[in-house]
Amino acid sequence: MIIISEQEFNQIFSKQLKAQLKLHEMTQSDLAKHLGVSTQSVTNWCKGAKTPRMDKVDAMCKLFNCKRSDLMEEKGPNIDTVPIESGYIIPVLGRVAAGYGKEAVEEVIGQIEISPAMAAKGDYFGLLIKGDSMIPTLYDGDTVIVERTDDAESGDLVIALVNGSDATCKRLQKYAEGIALIPQNPVYEPMRFTESEIDTTPVKILGKVIEMRRKF
């Protein structure tokens, strides 16, 4: 397993962003105008002081005609996307919250490795678990590997956005009249929603947990 620090990730992103700017003969000011952000924000990204939200990363990928991995993975001289020696790198998110429009705001805090076999089956991200609602299955500080999907089966461990708050990890239970998001820790009450409440609250499934990684 590979988990890098936020500082290390910032430096990787800085290096790859500067390489893309050089490749496309763009200045930091040019990029800022394309993204609708301040030049200072781009300067901070290039210095490795901060990293952008995932919606800005995706906008850069579209602008540079590249993949997320071209900006978020350490690479050699060839800028093309390649798997690392033992697997593929995906982003680890510190939080996922509701953003403007339909897209969620994702805060990238690092990277983690998954196998090539897993990477070939879908789109994945890592998520840092916060809190104790899923004890003893998951503990504060654990990292889960999540497959992006807007649906899941009853019994699956899912990541869901509820009423625009930060994403929560719970066990999904489906009923004829709606769903419940169930914590493992008995101290917490299940969150139940009727079919109409799923739309009005709203409740949105972002993905299902495939694997858990724990630091010992």
So which residues are the catalytic ones? 133, 170
Cα dihedral 61, 111, 136, 158, rounded to 10, equals 10
Distances (CA, A) of 8 to 4, 12, 48, 113, 200: 6, 6, 9, 15, 40
Report the SS3 class of residue 76: coil
Q: Is the dihedral of CA 182, 118, 8, 3 positive or negative?
A: positive
Helices 39-47, 6-23: crossing angle, 10 deg rounding: 120
Cβ 135 vs Cβ 185: under 8 Å: yes
Nearest to 123 by CA among 198, 68, 192: 68
